Amino acid sequence: MHIPIAFLLLASVAGLLHMYWSPRLELRILTWWPMLLGWIACAVAVATGLLAQSGLPPQAPFRSTLNWHIGSGLALLVVYAAPLYVRWRRRPQNSIRSAHAMPQPDLLDDAEARIWLTLDLLAGIGLLIATGWNGGRLVYEWAVNVLG
Least confident interval from 4-18, 51-65, 110-124: 51-65
In this model, does residue 27 exceed pLDDT 70?
A: yes
Q: What is the pLDDT of residues 77-87, one digit of tens each?
A: 999 999 999 99
DSSP state of 107: G
Q: What pLDDT, on the 0 to 100 scale, is given for residue 146? A: 85
Kindly give, in sequence order, each residue whose CB lies less than 8 Å from that of residue 77, ignoring residues fewer than 6 positions away: 39, 42, 43, 46
pLDDT band at residue 105 using 50, 70 and 90 as cut-offs:
confident
pLDDT at 145: 83
